[in-house]
A and B are shown apart, each in its own frame.
Chain A
């Protein structure tokens, strides 16, 4: 059942190689146009790429988590989310429990990071914890763990580093070319060959980032469908993820801490315009309405083959998302685990905010009259009086 990972990896390697060649070509053309030296440009581009990849590999997850202001939680801070993640960890067969982070943001979103199976983290927004019930949360967490299981996380991180390098080189190359390149050409007199190379470099500078972006999108969208299919397979309950996606789509909050490079790591595109469902070639994620439709269409036949059939129904013709080799085996038994108690939305909101208070080192004091106080960490003075019953509490 897990063979699709290998199939996907070969396809991704081809696409990544294409992006890498694009980068090297861009580097050598720029080198020739600016300095008259192919090799120098090539080596410089390669060096920049290697440095950025190393930084991305070792620091990528911590950079991403600190950029989004995520805070790590333990099993006792919020048992519900911890349990849901552990359930999905077991269902997906991951070896290590991922670290769980909470992002203090009313937007509904989640993302996964990590360079290998021993360094994985999952971040969810507090809005998500508040709005989704247990089944829906399970679907979303299953989707993110599927990204980890399918090794999408590292690949997407490396791809975005590559894309970033191409964009940066093209940007600086164009500045240098327009300002310094002009003076150089007039002094050396210039020949027709020089002009052709210059033109080629300019064309390449414009095309490379666009091409790289399209390749990047092709990789990430396929992987979103595959993660949806895997999530349905883990939970044996596609309706959970479908209704979670519905709630996420209906929400108009935008995630504050997201940028273009990190977009594919989220469960839905953080930049979609409020209320707009249809998206085109230039999106990292498939249209959310379509993802919901496919998940709902597979009801009753919960397996990768079932998802494939539903996907083909939605897209008449065209290759499917699940590689053939993965379709031969697959357990179609639909058995849902016992449903747990989920607090209603108001209680969930309180629960989520309590966790955030605690993570910001606020102390909680409960008065005998039932009033709860959150004491800030820099509170001066050793005592305070309850405004309802006038009891004095000493800290």
Chain B
């Protein structure tokens, strides 16, 4: 009799421990997703801050590239506006900004004075590195989201996830088809 009660209590304790472990794992995964998203945000903000500097530096050298510069400025404005409008919209706006910047750097190849300027070189290093950081942060974010979503959908953690109301994360995809293609540079 006593043995049976002890066994039942033992099983109950083990069950509680397992459930607590799974729950904590879910919370940890969700926090990692949040943290990874914050990393992307930091880098996007940094890029927004760098662009006015770049435009200011480049203006003097590129009198004939008004359109390219305006495209960058406009894309930046759109991206800043999209900050709080959800993952998909933000990804789209940032994709367009990346593209506009890519065109600007491609055009800059035609201006040897600009390319030799210390200021421009430093800015280019900062911006390309920020671009890299954005894509690495996105990569880490997407990996974290996948790991989190796996936990939510797989047995047995899916049971606890549905009870604890854990919602699936959304990955940061580059939806814009144009950005997936290589940028076309015309020398006309």
Residues of A within 8 A of B (CB): 1, 79-80, 83-84, 86-88, 90-93, 234, 236, 329, 331, 335, 337-341
Contacts and interface: CB of A to CB of B under 8 A. Distances in A.
A338 B144 CA distance: 22
B6 interface: no
Contacts of B129: 79, 83-84, 86-87, 340
B125 A337 contact: no
Given A90-B136, A90-B140, A341 B147 contact: no
B102 interface: yes
Interface string B125-144: 11011011101110110111
Contact of B139 (A79, A236, A339, A341): A236
Interface string B98-109: 100010000000
Find the residue from A236, A335, A340, A341 having the highest chain B CB count within 10 A: A340
B158 interface: no
B53 interface: no
B185 interface: no
A93 B140 CA distance: 7
A337 B147 contact: no
A241 to B, nearest CB: 15
B150 interface: yes
A88 B139 CA distance: 11
Contacts of B140: 90-93
A84 B140 CA distance: 16
B149 to A, nearest CB: 10
19 contacts: A1-B147, A79-B125, A80-B125, A83-B125, A83-B129, A83-B133, A86-B129, A90-B137, A93-B32, A236-B139, A329-B150, A337-B135, A337-B136, A338-B98, A340-B131, A341-B121, A341-B124, A341-B125, A341-B128
Given A83-B132, A91-B140, 18 more contacts: A83-B129, A83-B133, A84-B129, A87-B133, A90-B136, A90-B137, A91-B136, A91-B139, A236-B139, A329-B150, A337-B131, A337-B132, A337-B136, A339-B128, A340-B128, A340-B131, A341-B124, A341-B125
Interface residues of B, number: 27
Given A79-B125, A331-B143, A341-B128, A86 B135 contact: no
A167 B53 CA distance: 59
A151 to B, nearest CB: 17
Contacts, number: 67
B22 interface: no
A238 to B, nearest CB: 15
Given A83-B129, A87-B132, A329-B146, A335 B102 contact: no
Interface in B79-137: 98, 102, 121-122, 124-126, 128-129, 131-133, 135-137
A338 B128 CA distance: 7
A276 B152 CA distance: 51
B139 A329 contact: no
A234 B137 CA distance: 10
Contact of B39 (A90, A236, A335, A341): A90
Find the residue from A86, A87, A90, A234 having the highest chain B CB count within 10 A: A90
Contact of A329 (B32, B125, B147): B147
Contacts of B147: 1, 329
A91 B102 CA distance: 22
B36 interface: yes
A93 B36 contact: yes
Find the residue from B39, B137, B139, B146 having the highest chain A CB count within 10 A: B139
3 nearest interchain CB pairs? Answer: A340-B128, A83-B129, A91-B136
Contacts of A90: 39, 43, 133, 136-137, 140
A28 B135 CA distance: 56
A91 B1 CA distance: 57
Contact of A340 (B132, B136, B139, B142): B132
A339 B128 CA distance: 7
A86 B39 CA distance: 11
Nearest to B127: A340
Contact of A234 (B43, B136, B144): B136
Given A1-B143, A90-B140, A93-B36, A338 B131 contact: yes
Interface in B47-102: 98, 102
Contacts of A339: 128
Contacts of A83: 125-126, 129, 132-133
Nearest to A336: B135
A79 B122 contact: yes
Contact of B125 (A1, A91, A236, A340): A340
